[in-house]
Amino acid sequence: MSDNKQKRQPQNQKGGEGKVPPRGWMLLIIIMGLIPLMMMMKEGSMRNQQEISHPKFVELVESNLIAQAEITYNPQSSLREISGEYIAETESGQATRIPFKIKTSVSEELETKLLQSGKFKPVEPNTFLMNILYAVLPILLLAGIIYFFLIRQVKMAGKGALSFGKSKARMMVKGKNKVTFKDVAGAEEAIDDVRELVDFLKDPKKFQNLGGRIPKGILMVGAPGTGKTLLAKAIAGEADAAFFSISGSDFVEMFVGVGASRVRDMFEQARQNSPCLVFVDEIDAVGRSRGHGMGGGNDEREQTLNALLVEMDGFDTQEGTILIAATNRPDVLDPALLRPGRFDRQIMINLPDLRGREEILKVHARRFKLKESVDLSVIARATPGYSGAELANLLNEAALQAARFNKKSISMHELEEARIKVRWGRERKSLAMTDDDKRHTAWHEAGHALVNVMLEHTHPLHKVTIIPRGQSLGSTMSLPEQEMFNRQRREMVDMITLAMAGRIAEEIESGDISTGASGDIQQATQLARAMVCQYGMSDRLGMVQYGESSEYVFLGRDMAKSKEYSEKTAQEIDDEVKRLIDECYGKAKTLLIDNRDKLEIIANALLEYESLDGTQVEEIAKTGKFTPPPTAGSDDSMKGEDSSEPLPESPKPIPPEIGSGLGSPAPAPL
């Protein structure tokens, strides 16, 4: 790294802290501190002197016992200050010197005798210097106080005001960042794309000889927790170049023009350290589309965005600065920011698939102590839709649970319990449910479980439980057998049918209904409306998209849009959604009434054992008989220390399982 980089580096530290005052002021402070110290030392030495009377002093002079002394003359007084040492005899007979002082009037005859003895020295007091010192010292003290508490604060305030426009980008020192591409898993395609940046920075001539130009900007797009920031750290660890990192919110300030000034200063620092990488996290904080928002556009934010656009690809741009940005809201970014020449390349970092989840688990498992019997591929198959951050949290939760029970290593039981805890929440053992609530919950979940195993196009049932977790009083968990990338119409119809089964089972048991099916109703409605409006799965309305997806909401832009279909079409959409749900409701009700005996067996088994495996529910649905599990009263049939039940493979992008129980939160939309 060049000397220029080393000079720029201290500027990235937090300014204004620990600055050394000028040398002149340091010297003045030392002198002002030494003078009182010397006066205190002199005063302390004078305190050790014995004050004697005039007769004793005369007696000592006549006895020739004065060893040495000084006579200080005071022009403003006739008294003389005499200090020195006289000789005295101790009890053991040895001679010793004792310091003394006296302030008395001395006759001319005695004074002449003292001076002629050679033991007394006359001392003239330096009154001129002392007067100057006494006159100047208070002024110096007052000036120092004024400087440090007033003038210096004003100067620092001025520097602080001027520093508002300085970039807050932090330069990453090479050697401190130990993250490399080996620490990033589940994003092989993204790693291949960004590896070109590292290769170009190490050997730019290899690309330039072919006429190639390095991308000026790379935008990493992905859901939260997929590893965008981790990938940027890996680029910094691999690249032999300067690396600046900053958050999009660091450009935002209460003062006008500060954001644009910080953008210019950041690129100025980057040019001085060229070639270099600049990473902007959460760029949507400053890169939102211009001209949108409640009440019109924000001029200050748009100035910041304009400065960013000009610096990336304007009239006076230079090669050597590569901007890497990350966001999970690409829909709100300004089109001018996304065009080639600014962000030349967009890298999608999706949720990991089965192989990616297993690799991520292996990377994070390096710092955990796992049992040899632990099979991470089983956990990978059982964690569909988990991001890298969620998988890391899963391992951490398993470690915390193992430590809570004083175990020396993590087993499959802790991993399975952590998986359920991360997805559905922790067991609410303290929740006091009445017998009626438990019975309603058991029948509700029994309805979901029975319909799940009887329908042809549903995912295999994994487990059903009436133990409260998170906001739900019970859960019916189903996991797909293999990776899925789209859904069939009959599969979605069966999912709506499955969602209706809980309410129907409650009504069969008690003749009444409760609020526990609110989450099921919401999920079924969203699924049916998506089939009609987005996926073209309605024969009545055809293959037409009615309205845009509401997954991302941009308030100012969306409010300005007019409705894209008529009121008549809206009525037809509502009728078609209701028709789909009613048909699925009737299908689920027929299945449960025809198999009421099996439904009752499942509900009673849940009331007794609280949890059932999918295989046990399938046995009841096929034979009408229930084989009790080996251990009763447990939340999880995988309570064995080394239990590793093979869980089915599962897809990447699925919502929480249908039938998440009474009082369950609404599932994520498709």
What residues act catalytically? 445
**Residues 440/510, Cβ–Cβ less than 8 Å:** yes
DSSP designation for 457? S
Q: Which residue, chain included where needed, has tokens 């006739």?
A: 78
Integer Cα distance of 98 and 87 in angstroms: 6
Which helix (H) or strand (E) segment is 38 a member of? helix 23-47
Integer Cα distance of 447 and 662 in angstroms: 12
DSSP string of 578-636?
A: HHHHHHHHHHHHHHHHHTHHHHHHHHHHHHHHSEEEHHHHHHHHHHS-----SS-S-S-
How far are the Cα atoms of 4, 89, 125, 247, 533 from residue 20, in angstroms, in the given order?
A: 23, 57, 39, 30, 68
Distance separating the N- and C-terminal Cα atoms of the chain: 49
Bridge partners (DSSP) of residue 121 are 70
* Per-residue burial over 270-288, b = 16 or more CB atoms within 10 Å of its CB, e = otherwise: beebebbbbbbbbbbbbbb
Q: Is 158 exposed, middle or buried (0-12, 13-18, 19+ CB in 10 A)?
A: exposed
- Give a three-class secondary structure readout of 119-139: CEEEECCCHHHHHHHHHHHHH
Detail the DSSP E strand segments found in 328-486: 345-349, 461-465, 475-478
Q: Is 177 helix (H, G, I), strand (E, B) or coil?
A: coil
